[in-house]
Each structure stands twice: as C-alpha cells, then as structure tokens.
Amino acid sequence: MSNLLEIHNLSVTYGLNGWRVLAVRDLGLTLGEGEKLAIVGESGAGKSTIANTIMGLLGNGAEIQGEIYFKGSQVKQETVSELRGKEIVLIPQNVFNSINPVFSIGEQMEDLQNEANVAPEQRQGRILELLRRVRLPRPESIPDSFSHQLSGGMKQRVLLAMGLSQSPSLIIADEPTKGLDPIRRMGILNLLQQLVKQNRQSLMLITHDIKAAAFLCDTITLIYKGEMMERLPAAHLYENSMHPYSKALMAAAPERGLQVPSQINSEFNHSPVTGCSYAAYCQLFRNSCLEQRPALRQVAPGHWVRCDAVA
C-alpha cells in the first residue's frame, strides 16, 4: 500500500493569553491509499487540530512545525486550498454550522457541481445521484430543503454528499457519529465503510469512540495531549494493545464521552513537564517515568507504543 498522506514531526501550538498551548506534539503519521485510519483520543487530545492542519484551516494564531506530504508532494499552508474540497474533504466536527442556513441544499450543491465542472444540464441529475449515494430518505425532496429542516444525521449525510462532489482521494470525518443515537451511529459508520470501499478512497476517522474506530478502520492511532501513544492494526486492538492510555480508553464507555479516568497518581497537580505526559493518570506509573519522554518503539509489524514500562 503506497502512502497517500505522510505527516512528519508535526507540532502545532495556539496562542492563548500570552501563552502557547501545545495541541499537537511531534506527530508522525502515514495513511495508505485505500486505508482507513482512526485518530482516537479524549476531548482536547488534538484530533481536530490534526485535521484542520492538514486542511490548512488553522487561524493566524496557530504555529505549525513539521511537514505534510500528499501524493508525494509537500503540502504548504499557502497552497493547500488547491487540494481542499477536491482531493481532500473534511466533514467537520460541527455539522450544525457547516451548511449555509441562507441558501437551499440544492443551491449549495449546484455551486459545488459548478466548481467540479459538471455541465449545467447534468447538475440536477448528479445532485440527486450524490444524495442517493449517501442514502438520504426521499432524496428528491432534499435540494429544496434548508439546513434547519434537517436532523443531525441528515446534515451529516448532506455534508458527505457535498464532499463527494469532486471524488476526493481522502475523506476526513471529524466525529461523524457524535450526538447520534446508536441506530443512526451504525447507519453513518456503514455508509462511510461502503462509500470509501466503492470509490477506493482513504478515510481518516476522528473519534472518541474506540469501538466505532475498531469496527470501521484498518489502523488505530491513539492520541493523548497531542502525542501519539500507540498505533496498531485495528484487528489487534482488543487482544494486543499495550499502552495504559489505550487500555483506559477501552475501559471507558463511549456514551460517557470516553473521558480518561480521573487522576490517580496524587503526587501530580498537573502533568509533568519532563517525562511521560500520561504519568499523572497512569496505573503503571513509576518514578523513572519522569526522567525522559518515552520514545515511540516498534513492538510488532505495524504496532508502535510510547511507554517505557511496556515497550
């Protein structure tokens, strides 16, 4: 599998009240053609920051270090707009703000067909075909609808249909199942699975829901405070994951938002500035964990772990 996307040594900081908030730390990632990769972590782990960096959507206050390559060419923040919406599509975390409330769905999709150079006489047919592909009920009624007339699940599907307008090679779906009931959640996961398979697209699924990640994806990357803690094939997640953070996430219930358990090592009032960033919460903590930041070590083919106690 050749790499569609490569991220090397990515660090992202935001400016906040005169301080720099480190949102992504020294991240390396690869995503193969046709691969489905999950980025999993609790709230504030830096998942959306990774997606927004790839898409060139970070505000001016953000500072980015590191390199991103797409199809072998380096992606620069100045030129990433050429890929956005065409080669790479982001289904954003907040679907409620992502569809323009002023224009009908049909008008917005028509504009996208125009950008995709679809001939005017073919646009209506193409719009209906896209709405059918995302399995919206009564697709012929959707073009005349406005955002406020759609449920959360329908908005997700409309955004997907919009995103598919230009046949992107990579779909990034940021929390596509958040707030949906279990039936609608499975509906969206099945749809994503079928769409990327049919079109041989790659998928980056960003989620709190480790079970959804294991169901849908080939590879799981677990992120804590912007750092990759473990990466492994999804098929090995339940039997072979090793990092204490991965185990804590698997033990947490997705319906509770997959929060990491409360701090258990009471000697810390905050995470240590040196050593392992997970130390305050770690069941395997020992004093040597504070001496240096653990390296990411390969423990098996495709399986990497950042923990000095287990890897």
CB 156 within 8 A of CB 189: no
Least gap, CB of 232 to ligand ATP (angstroms): 19
Residue 215's binding partner among ligand SF4, Mg ion, ligand ATP, none (Cβ under 5 to 8 angstroms by kind) is none
Q: From CA 128, how far away is CA 115, in angstroms rounded?
A: 17
Nearest to 33 by CA among 83, 96, 108, 87: 87
In angstroms, give the least distance from the CB of 162 to ligand SF4: 41
Stretch that binds Mg ion, among 9-17, 91-99, 153-161, 263-271 (CB under 5 A): 91-99
**Helix or strand or coil: residue 174?**
strand
By the 8 A CB rule, do 232 and 303 touch? yes
Identify what 278 binds: ligand ATP, ligand SF4, Mg ion, none; CB under 5 to 8 Å per kind.
Answer: ligand SF4
* Cα–Cα dist 122/251, whole Å: 50
* Minimum gap (Å) between residue 51 Cβ and ligand ATP: 8
Binding site for ligand SF4 (CB under 6 A): 244, 276, 278-279, 282, 284-285, 289, 294, 307-309
To 10 degrees, what angle do helices 152-163 and 182-198 make? 10
Task: Indicate whether 48 belongs to the interface with Mg ion (CB under 5 A).
Answer: yes
Task: Please choose which of Mg ion, ligand SF4, ligand ATP, none residue 44 contacts, taking the beta carbon within 5 to 8 angstroms, the exact cut-off set by kind.
Answer: ligand ATP
276 binds, among ligand ATP, Mg ion, ligand SF4, none (CB under 5 to 8 A by kind): ligand SF4
Torsion, CA 296, CA 300, CA 244, CA 35, rounded to 10: 80
Name the minimum Å distance from CB 224 to ligand SF4. Answer: 9
For ligand SF4, the closer CB: 195 or 307? 307
Nearest CA among 250, 226, 227, 228 for reference residue 239 = 250
Structure tokens at 242: 């090793």
Interacting residues with Mg ion (CB under 5 A): 48, 93
